[in-house]
Chain A
């Protein structure tokens, strides 16, 4: 039987992560994600896991990768400035194919910004924050209940594709308290590993039918090398242009070739819609209220919500754009995912953006206005 509990978004993030086997957390205090660290400090030793407060954000990210290398599902959480600091090591995890989950409870930026105010200004950074071409998966929850289930999916995808997954929360969802049902059954994906000592020192050789390497964790007999340098199948650095091309192409295609498995979206009231509002994260809540209001006025409007922000759900949005007259992109920033929407919908329908950078929530009234305007 499922259980009904009252929880904060940040707490649900921790409980979901623990439920799917997260046993290592390294972090550094920063608003508005701090509760995640506090809650991990309380909860992890209860389940024989480890929490450590590191000396800074960079070290937290590094420790998380280290723990994952040792075979433990690992997570860190941060906000704004801390997310910037973690970027180099996120790229390392991408290049070395070390699963890990990075929670970013977004706050208003840039720089120190408005530390306690909501924003969705890190959408582009979550995709391209670290240098160089690299694969990444970004998921964004819009409720406490979804935070619980989606963090599990974040771990599942990270383990399956051996890539860092950014769990892009925002202050609204992180600090929101609502009643949630803890599901009785959850699907858990653990990373595939071959038994220690059997990789023949070729940890990055991908076996047939696999999408990612299958090397065993440290300490189980394989004794391979991990590096952030361009490496060949042996894990040893190489300057070969052929190997560089092979490695980066494989990393990118690991995600590209599996978008159908990775991408998740939610549509509401789109069957008969003339207008659709694209939104994600905490903004969704204002959008749904505005849609109810508009529908009561007889306006046929629906919602399109990318749950997976990156890779961007191109196919799904393109399909919808052929059926509607107008797409409104509502996001809590100066216009970020709207650029992707423009690229995808082309001239299929008209496109309008409504955003905000003053640190206050986008209200249902503002969205309703955008719906009603031409």
Chain B
């Protein structure tokens, strides 16, 4: 028997999961169910949608309506689900490569549309499933199997990208502080519209080793020592924020939610109008 929380929300017959020792995916998946538990959501109404990659395997372990889709397309599948049945609570779990590279177009457009869904991005700065290629979140100068001489790409700030595209809620946390991730996910789910929580994870095997980051414990301690709460970050000059992880709720705004706006159209044109006259 596992903990009550794990027994209640995970398909324990499929555990232990496939992730490497120390991988942050398990911690973040735990935070997702803790947030759902705290909000007392109906398990039958929660959908977990994921793409392809290490983190996307989370869907299979969770005891909700779960769908493990194609690489990069989780947000587009999720949009269809939410629009077809707006009463469902849609949570997307995606990695940095999945959501910001192959799925980058879907990310900016889902954010722009403000479809009610919560996106948990597990950012481990690397493509893990394929063995350590640089991702759009790999910092410049770092290494991957496809960046043997150092990465010359500039990385995305995924939360800022989403906010720039019109996401109405963005937040960031680290696996060093799972309680903060839980609280951000809770707020994201409660927020009406598109919310994105960037979870800074650790990949000790592919990213860590390749970049001589030490053990997983060293990597988590680095997160502890380099995180700055957003409230404090606001008072610091930009040079002091370089290379730091700003955590907490980064942005929040109220925009019309897509399915509600569509419901208004339905309300207006359904029933009364004969289409032949339209």
B63, A24: Cβ atoms under 8 Å? no
| 24 chain-A/chain-B pairs, Cβ below 8 angstroms | A23-B84, A45-B262, A50-B262, A55-B108, A58-B73, A58-B76, A59-B75, A59-B105, A62-B76, A62-B77, A62-B80, A63-B77, A65-B77, A69-B67, A69-B81, A88-B70, A89-B73, A197-B44, A224-B66, A225-B59, A227-B67, A228-B68, A237-B60, A237-B68
A54 touches B (CB below 8 Å): yes
| Min distance, Cβ A89 to any Cβ of chain B, angstroms | 6
| Surface stretch bound by B, among A213-221, A271-279, A287-295 | A213-221
B2 touches A (CB below 8 Å): no
Residues of A within 8 A of B (CB): 5, 23-24, 26, 42-43, 45-48, 50, 52, 54-56, 58-60, 62-72, 74, 88-89, 92, 196-197, 201, 217-229, 236-237
* Contacts known (A45-B262, A237-B60); A220 close to B67, Cβ less than 8 A: no
Complex contacts, B265 vs chain A, CB 8 Å: 45
Bound complex: CA of A70 vs CA of B46, how far in Å?
12
Bound complex: CA of A71 vs CA of B87, how far in Å?
13
Q: Give 8 nearest A-B pairs by CB, closest first.
A: A66-B80, A63-B80, A62-B76, A67-B84, A59-B76, A55-B109, A70-B84, A66-B77
| Surface stretch bound by A, among B183-191, B198-206, B266-274 | B266-274
Given contacts A54-B109, A62-B76, A65-B69, 14 further A-B contacts (CB under 8 A): A45-B270, A46-B275, A60-B76, A63-B83, A66-B82, A67-B83, A68-B84, A70-B81, A70-B88, A89-B73, A219-B65, A223-B43, A225-B68, A237-B68
Complex contacts, A59 vs chain B, CB 8 Å: 73, 75-76, 79, 105-106, 109
Complex contacts, B59 vs chain A, CB 8 Å: 225, 227
Bound complex: CA of A216 vs CA of B67, how far in Å?
14
Residue of A nearest to B108 (CB): A55
- A45, A196, A224: the one contacting B266 at CB < 8 Å is A45
Of A48, A60, A65, A66, the most chain B CB neighbours within 10 A belong to A66
Bound complex: CA of A197 vs CA of B81, how far in Å?
19
| Min distance, Cβ B80 to any Cβ of chain A, angstroms | 3
Residues of B within 8 A of A (CB): 11, 14, 43-45, 47, 49, 57, 59-60, 63-70, 73, 75-85, 87-88, 105-106, 108-109, 262, 265-266, 268-270, 273, 275-276, 278
A64, B80: Cβ atoms under 8 Å? yes
| Min distance, Cβ A84 to any Cβ of chain B, angstroms | 15
Complex contacts, B70 vs chain A, CB 8 Å: 62, 88-89, 92, 228
B80, A219: Cβ atoms under 8 Å? no
A52, B79: Cβ atoms under 8 Å? yes
A55, B63: Cβ atoms under 8 Å? no
Bound complex: CA of A309 vs CA of B134, how far in Å?
44
B69, A92: Cβ atoms under 8 Å? yes
Chain B interface, DSSP helix/strand/loop, else mixed:
helix
| Min distance, Cβ B132 to any Cβ of chain A, angstroms | 21
A46, B80: Cβ atoms under 8 Å? no
* Contacts known (A50-B83, A223-B64); A218 close to B77, Cβ less than 8 A: no
Bound complex: CA of A92 vs CA of B73, how far in Å?
11
B14, A219: Cβ atoms under 8 Å? no
B85, A236: Cβ atoms under 8 Å? no
Complex contacts, A223 vs chain B, CB 8 Å: 43-44, 63-66
Residue of A nearest to B65 (CB): A218
| Min distance, Cβ B38 to any Cβ of chain A, angstroms | 20
- A24, A45, A56: the one contacting B84 at CB < 8 Å is A24
Complex contacts, A60 vs chain B, CB 8 Å: 76
| Min distance, Cβ B64 to any Cβ of chain A, angstroms | 6
A67, B44: Cβ atoms under 8 Å? no
| Min distance, Cβ B16 to any Cβ of chain A, angstroms | 14
Complex contacts, B270 vs chain A, CB 8 Å: 45-48
Complex contacts, B69 vs chain A, CB 8 Å: 62, 65, 92, 228
| Min distance, Cβ B30 to any Cβ of chain A, angstroms | 18
| Min distance, Cβ A360 to any Cβ of chain B, angstroms | 35
Residue of B nearest to A5 (CB): B276
| Min distance, Cβ A19 to any Cβ of chain B, angstroms | 12
Of A45, A218, A226, the most chain B CB neighbours within 10 A belong to A218
A63, B68: Cβ atoms under 8 Å? no
A218, B83: Cβ atoms under 8 Å? no
Complex contacts, A63 vs chain B, CB 8 Å: 76-77, 79-80, 83
| Min distance, Cβ B147 to any Cβ of chain A, angstroms | 26
* Contacts known (A46-B278, A58-B76, A65-B77); A224 close to B83, Cβ less than 8 A: no
B60, A46: Cβ atoms under 8 Å? no
Bound complex: CA of A32 vs CA of B175, how far in Å?
50
Bound complex: CA of A42 vs CA of B273, how far in Å?
11
B266, A225: Cβ atoms under 8 Å? no
* Contacts known (A45-B266, A48-B266); A55 close to B81, Cβ less than 8 A: no
| Min distance, Cβ B260 to any Cβ of chain A, angstroms | 13
Complex contacts, A217 vs chain B, CB 8 Å: 85
A26, B80: Cβ atoms under 8 Å? yes
| Min distance, Cβ A342 to any Cβ of chain B, angstroms | 35
B83, A52: Cβ atoms under 8 Å? yes
| Min distance, Cβ A269 to any Cβ of chain B, angstroms | 37
Complex contacts, B278 vs chain A, CB 8 Å: 42, 46
Bound complex: CA of A226 vs CA of B268, how far in Å?
36
Complex contacts, B109 vs chain A, CB 8 Å: 54-55, 59
| Min distance, Cβ A86 to any Cβ of chain B, angstroms | 11
A67, B47: Cβ atoms under 8 Å? no
| Min distance, Cβ B108 to any Cβ of chain A, angstroms | 8
Bound complex: CA of A319 vs CA of B45, how far in Å?
53
